[in-house]
Amino acid sequence: MGASHISNRSEQWPGPWSRRGLLAALGVAPAAAVLTGCSGSAGAADGTARAAGSAQPAAKRPTVSVTPADGTRKAGFTSPVVVTVADGTLASVKVTGNDGSEMAGSLNDARTRWTSAKNPYSGTKYTVTATPAGAAAQTATFTTRSPGETFVGYFTPEAGSTSGVGMPVSINFTHAVKDRAAVQKAITVTAEPAVEVVGHWFGDTRLDFRPETYWASGTKVTLSLRLKDVEGSDGVYGVQHKDVTFHIGRAQISTVDLSTKEMTVRRDGATIATYPVSGGNAQHTTWSGIMVISERFKQTRMESSTVGLGDEYDISDVPHAQRLTTSGTFVHGNYWASTSVFGHQNTSHGCVGLHDAKGANDSSVAGYEFYDSSMLGDVVVVRNSGEKTVDPANGLNGWNLSWSQWKAGSAV
């Protein structure tokens, strides 16, 4: 009823009416009442303050990001997997490959970033499951690209074999290695009982491992290849990821003295046989030094043309041949020379010959006996041949290097 006295042209409220009172009389609630709803008559101003303070923005949902990005189909494989979270922390991260393998990794102190311990493998699909604290798990997938060009290492001796005490672990690569350190770090050779084993490079395609002295009889040797995705040369990656083991048998070391033309065979420190031999003649002297049996043939063909000697000989059935060098030195049986040659004359083209019988089946002759007593990895030492020491890379003959020389050829 007081409303009829309000002038529309005046901003003043006449009489005892206040603006608040007038609004109440007209049935219009003040703004504070709208925010506070029903409240007691005491402290209306306090109620307004509490309502304003409780109007907080909604909490943000944690957001997970993955590198390589979700859905990538040809991701790189030379960097680790990284998972980060915004507006939260990570409770757990799991990264699994399509082969069922799981990548290890670690969180930073703030638990906002997870980094894999190693790089992902090439040609593999990965699923990332990241769970923020107090929130649902989030997933992402990516697939790494396949490497363009690859290399492998062919190793000696064979897995599961038993070899003589002189057998090194020798690896020949199918592609020249530029980053020798990276490749060597990806290969380990361990022994039981333990002994220091060091690698030595012979050029850019061959890496051998050996201890300081011959292996101890009964040693178990394990070769671990972790070459998969190791960049050996620009854009050329390894593919192998495997462990192989072999064992060391009895210790047999045979010494050939070409001044006396005799070979003495010692096994585990005891002499078990002495054989008359014939070595290389004055024009074709036999290499001297420490050599390791790397191949064995009950019978094989030998042609002079294959070792640069023209057509001097071609024997189709050389008995009991055991290779000592890549260049063609063997210790083998000889049935075509007179028995009077052995122990008296050096008549060969560089090999060490023992009396033998045609057909390689006569167990009574020296050639048969020595072959039967030998195995891959046995040591044959040649002395007084009139020739210089064999090149350590010519066959499995790294024992001709001192330990300091051998270690100098390591890339790590």
- The whole-number pLDDT of residue 178 equals 98
Same fold, 149-248 and 252-397: no
Q: Is 247 one of the annotated active-site residues of the chain?
A: no
- Provide the token pair at 236: 């050329």
Q: How confident is the model at residue 56 (pLDDT cuts 50, 70, 90)?
A: low
- The whole-number pLDDT of residue 180 equals 98
Which among 320, 349, 351, 355 is annotated as catalytic? 351
Q: How far is it, in rounded angstroms, from Cα 374 to Cα 388?
A: 25
Q: How confident is the model at residue 198 (pLDDT cuts 50, 70, 90)?
A: very high
Q: Determine whether domain 149-248 maps to CATH 3.30.1490.20.
A: no
Given this structure, which CATH class describes domain 63-143? mainly beta
Which among 200, 332, 349, 355 is annotated as catalytic? 332
User: Which of 198-212, 298-312, 352-366, 368-382 is predicted least confidently?
Assistant: 298-312
Q: How far is it, in rounded angstroms, from Cα 187 to Cα 223?
A: 7
| For range 127-144, the mean pLDDT | 97
pLDDT digits (tens, 9 = 90+) for 88-116: 999 999 999 998 999 999 999 999 999 99
Q: How confident is the model at residue 50 (pLDDT cuts 50, 70, 90)?
A: very low
Looking at the domain 252-397, which fold is it?
Answer: L,D-transpeptidase catalytic domain-like (2.40.440)
Sheet order of strands, 352-355 included: 295-303, 314-323, 330-334, 352-355
| For range 21-43, the mean pLDDT | 35
Q: In this model, does residue 35 exceed pLDDT 80?
A: no
Q: How confident is the model at residue 311 (pLDDT cuts 50, 70, 90)?
A: confident
Q: Is 332 one of the annotated active-site residues of the chain?
A: yes
Residue with tokens 């690896």: 171
Cα distances from 144 to residues 65, 90, 127, 139, 193, in angstroms, run 17, 24, 11, 17, 40
Q: In this model, does residue 22 exceed pLDDT 70?
A: no
Parse the chain into domains and list their residue ranges: 63-143, 149-248, 252-397
**Residue 332 CB burial class (10 angstroms; 0-12, 13-18, ≥19):** buried
- The whole-number pLDDT of residue 206 equals 98
